[in-house]
Amino acid sequence: MINLRSNFFFKKFFIFIVSAALCFCGCKRIEKSDDGEDSTVDDIEEVSKAAYQRILNLKLPLKTVLIAEAYSLTIPQNCDFEVQKVTPEEVVLGNIDLAKIDTAFLSINLGGIFSKNDGLYSEQVYIIPSNDPKRFSIADLKSGNERIDAVYYEDENSIIYDQGETFFTYNIQYDEAKKCFLFYKAEISWTQKYPKKQKLELSVHLLKHAKSLLTTNYPQAKFDSWNDYVQNMPVLEVNWVNNMFTKIEKELKYFLDTNDQVSPRTPSNYTFVALFSPSQETLSDFYKSINQLKTNQVIESDYSSREVILNIDSQYSYQLREEAGCYVVSNSAKMRDGYTAHTFTTVFCPVVYKGKTFILKTDKELTPSHADFFVKMFSYFSKHYTLKTSATK
């Protein structure tokens, strides 16, 4: 009797053990297999002299512009600028006490391709008149209660630091001839989620802009190709453009239907460039418009029922330039009262892929200074169907 009972319990126990083992072994162990994350250490503490010098030696085409008919500033060639008057209360320059200044002063907003549309960073120059060349210094900027988390670069008249992952680049110069201070301030916001190393590299590029402001004797440089741009641009900007064009590349090769268009969204949810996969009619309309611009006979057509790549309007005057396989179309409103109107530029580039013609088009109203960047970019893409160069592959 005892034997029978113990046998019964043994069997039950055995079944329990087997089933429990099945319960635990039945599932595969979940392992984190995502090893694609960037595991490189991002704990850079300062900008090395070698890195600083390397960036300072890079090519940067410049131009000199006249501000408020009084001040000459040298800025990157592919930059625009907007001038406005600001009061000291509207401006924060580190810890510098602007209350000492009792008048409004000029603020110049520099608009590059990346600062203007997508707000990757901002660049401002303030012109503050003063007879005392020692009135403001980097030491003033650092002193006081303003939080500075880490200083990555500092020299006699410049500083790069971060504050809660927002990177600031400041430069202070005194213009002896005009008796004024030039304050340069650039900011890369914490909302831009990029590796610290890349933000810092970009900050040094921006410092280079600052250090060029009063330069008068500079070589007339220009970028010869997209490769040339890539080798001289901040890594963060190169990666940003490549990420956008990875989508354009996939649209071209796999996704875009005929008679459709696409403008991939940027990380800040803007558009950057558009790709068209036009029907024969739409493509023929495009070339008709181009021919009208070539012969300078603008006749508005009724394309209302069709998709339009280049819409021309007799209210504008147009200029067409052909360069590196691209059409650069500039238009400005016809003004009768002597005012000069803003000129906007659009770059178009036919891309023939597997016998089919696509059209790349800049999606924002650019100013003429931005055009060259897109001409070189589109031209490279039309030949290689990717923007990745041998340096970035």
Q: Is the dihedral of CA 143, 146, 152, 157 positive or negative?
A: negative
Instruction: Select 76 or 264, whichever has its Cβ closest to another protein.
Output: 264
Instruction: Select 276 or 373, whichever has its Cβ closest to another protein.
Output: 276
Instruction: Select 17 or 58, whichever has its Cβ closest to another protein.
Output: 17
Q: Smallest distance from the beta carbon of 279 to another protein, in angstroms? A: 16
Instruction: Select 12 or 356, whichever has its Cβ closest to another protein.
Output: 12
Q: Which two tokens stand for residue 121?
A: 């960073």
Q: Smallest distance from the beta carbon of 130 to another protein, in angstroms? A: 51
Instruction: Select 234 or 264, whichever has its Cβ closest to another protein.
Output: 264
Strand partners, 275: 262, 360
Q: Smallest distance from the beta carbon of 366 to another protein, in angstroms? A: 23
Do residues 385 and 252 touch, judged by C-beta distance below 8 A?
A: yes
Do residues 252 and 261 touch, judged by C-beta distance below 8 A?
A: no
User: What are the respective helix, strand and coil percentages of the chain, to the nearest 5?
Assistant: 30, 30, 40
Question: Ramachandran region of residue 303, left (φ > 0), alpha (ψ -120 to 50) or beta?
Answer: alpha
Burial class of residue 11 in the structure, from the number of CB atoms within 10 Å of its CB (0-12 exposed, 13-18 middle, 19+ buried): exposed
Q: Smallest distance from the beta carbon of 376 to another protein, in angstroms? A: 23
CA 362 – CA 349 distance, rounded (Å):
9
Instruction: Select 197 or 247, whichever has its Cβ closest to another protein.
Output: 247
Instruction: Select 216 or 269, whichever has its Cβ closest to another protein.
Output: 269
Instruction: Select 75 or 248, whichever has its Cβ closest to another protein.
Output: 248
Q: Smallest distance from the beta carbon of 360 to another protein, in angstroms? A: 16
Instruction: Select 16 or 218, whichever has its Cβ closest to another protein.
Output: 16
CA 167 – CA 15 distance, rounded (Å):
65
CA 118 – CA 237 distance, rounded (Å):
11
Helix (H, G, I), strand (E, B), or coil: what is residue 5?
helix
Helix (H, G, I), strand (E, B), or coil: what is residue 263?
coil
Q: Which residues contribute to the site for another protein (CB under 8 A)? A: 8, 11-12, 15-16, 19-20, 22-23, 26-28, 30, 33-36, 247, 250-251, 253-255, 257, 262, 264-265
Q: Smallest distance from the beta carbon of 23 to another protein, in angstroms? A: 5
**How long, in residues, is the chain?**
393
Q: Smallest distance from the beta carbon of 254 to another protein, in angstroms? A: 5
Burial class of residue 110 in the structure, from the number of CB atoms within 10 Å of its CB (0-12 exposed, 13-18 middle, 19+ buried): buried
Strand partners, 154: 159
Q: Smallest distance from the beta carbon of 296 to another protein, in angstroms? A: 37
Q: Smallest distance from the beta carbon of 109 to another protein, in angstroms? A: 31
Q: Which two tokens stand for residue 68?
A: 């408020």
Q: Which two tokens stand for residue 74?
A: 């040298």
Q: Which two tokens stand for residue 316?
A: 């504008």
- The helix or strand, by DSSP H or E, that contains position 97, with its residue range, turns out to be none
